[in-house]
A and B are shown apart, each in its own frame.
Chain A
Amino acid sequence: MSFAPKRITIKASRFDPAKDEKPRMQSYDIPFSDESMVVLDALNYIKGHVDGTLSYRWSCRMGICGSCGMMVDGIPKLTCNAFLRDYWPRPITIEPLNNFPVVRDLVIDMDDFMHKLKAVKPWIIRKQDPPLGGGAFLQTTPQIDEFRQFSQCINCMLCYAACPVYGLNDEFLGPAATALARRYNLDSRDEGLKQRLPVVAEAEGIWECSFVGECSVVCPKGVDPAKAIQQTKLDTTMRFVLPFGNRD
């Protein structure tokens, strides 16, 4: 006795800038042969066997590179971490990440995020580099614990897609960039706080955030950008108010 293989319907957003005025949905009925299949596997199946013109970004397939973020049934997710078994037998709708311009099909234009990321200088800044051969810069476990969770960010931009504040005002610095700024500001090796503050502490920076909190809900790496933003608000206020606050 043989069973017919399970099948699942993938509704993918399609947009060809040369032909289409706006995105349209296209359905693909594909085999759901393996319980471990994820949405990215389904897209790869479509690309390889059904429609080679479908465009989307992906790379590592294991939740590290942050390339394959898309709206899965209206929620920002890494498609390599969204299992078909959680949706079957219902059809799954796949769209490009909200709040970003669409370049083609499921590919978004990430330039705005890249500019914001660069603006917060997400690297260790030293006033004066120690001499080469001066030994490693040691950190204690509590010092690492200060910033550890913020360092897990993989720049997948799911938090931007979930943030209605960014959707309404793309001048907003946004969750991931602020979380990464805080990651370096909390690093005991870093001395770049005063270089980041003009970007982070301005009106379109942390003060634009009204604490919706959805950025932290959708983060696939357990980072809490909403916490980073609120804590930065408190810290910058204390720096302004306290007489000894404006220290390096």
Chain B
Amino acid sequence: MSEQAAPREFGWTMPRGWWTRRWHYFWYIVREFTSLPLALWLLWLLVEIRRAQDGPQGYHPHGSLGFVVFSVVVLLFALYHSYTFLTLAGAILHFNLADRPVSSRLIVLSQFALWAAASVVVGFVLIYFARS
């Protein structure tokens, strides 16, 4: 008696341009991609910090037009990435206050408020020490 072969199936393969087929997928890829230039910019920041160790005489920060444009683009990426990250906090964090669950909206708003407060503090510190 011959063994009957298993029925043949058509296997799934992900289309190469899957992320262009829906806006949701596209913005997800954009969100993920923003990490790459951010990481490059931060690596350069580490290099600048290392060069600044020798004191102000030997320190010449990179200020070409290309680098300024790159920094502005990275700033936009950072803002977009931060916005998506903080918005997702509403789905991630869950806790009760006075035996009642805190709403996702309130959690997201508190994240943005903390972000704004932290930005003000960091900005103040940078400006204050730059002037003194």
Is A101 a contact partner of B91 (Cβ separation < 8 A)?
no
Residues of B near A231 (CB, < 8 A) are 91-92, 94
Is B92 a contact partner of A233 (Cβ separation < 8 A)?
yes
Query: Per-residue 0/1 for B29-67: is the Cβ within 8 Å of any A Cβ (1 yes, 0 no)?
Result: 000100000000000000000000000000000000000
Among residues of A, the one whose C-beta sits closest to the C-beta of B88 is A211
Q: Which of B19-27, B73-81, B115-123 contacts A (4 or more CB under 8 A)?
A: B19-27
CA distance in complex: A15, B7 (Å): 12
Is B99 a contact partner of A142 (Cβ separation < 8 A)?
yes
Minimum Cβ distance to chain A for residue B8 (Å)? 4
For A, the interface residue count at a CB cutoff of 8 angstroms equals 32
Interface residues in chain A, defined as those with a beta carbon under 8 Å from any beta carbon in chain B: 15, 17-18, 20, 22-23, 74, 98-103, 109, 142, 145, 164, 167-168, 210-214, 217, 224, 226-227, 230-231, 233-234
Is B9 a contact partner of A167 (Cβ separation < 8 A)?
no
Is A164 a contact partner of B8 (Cβ separation < 8 A)?
no
Interface residues in chain B, defined as those with a beta carbon under 8 Å from any beta carbon in chain A: 7-12, 14, 18-19, 21-22, 24-25, 28, 32, 88, 91-94, 99, 101
CA distance in complex: A168, B13 (Å): 8
Is B21 a contact partner of A101 (Cβ separation < 8 A)?
no
Minimum Cβ distance to chain A for residue B12 (Å)? 5
Minimum Cβ distance to chain A for residue B100 (Å)? 8
Residues of B near A213 (CB, < 8 A) are 24, 28, 88
With contact pairs A167-B18, A217-B24, A230-B88 given, residues A17 and B12 touching in the complex (Cβ less than 8 Å): no
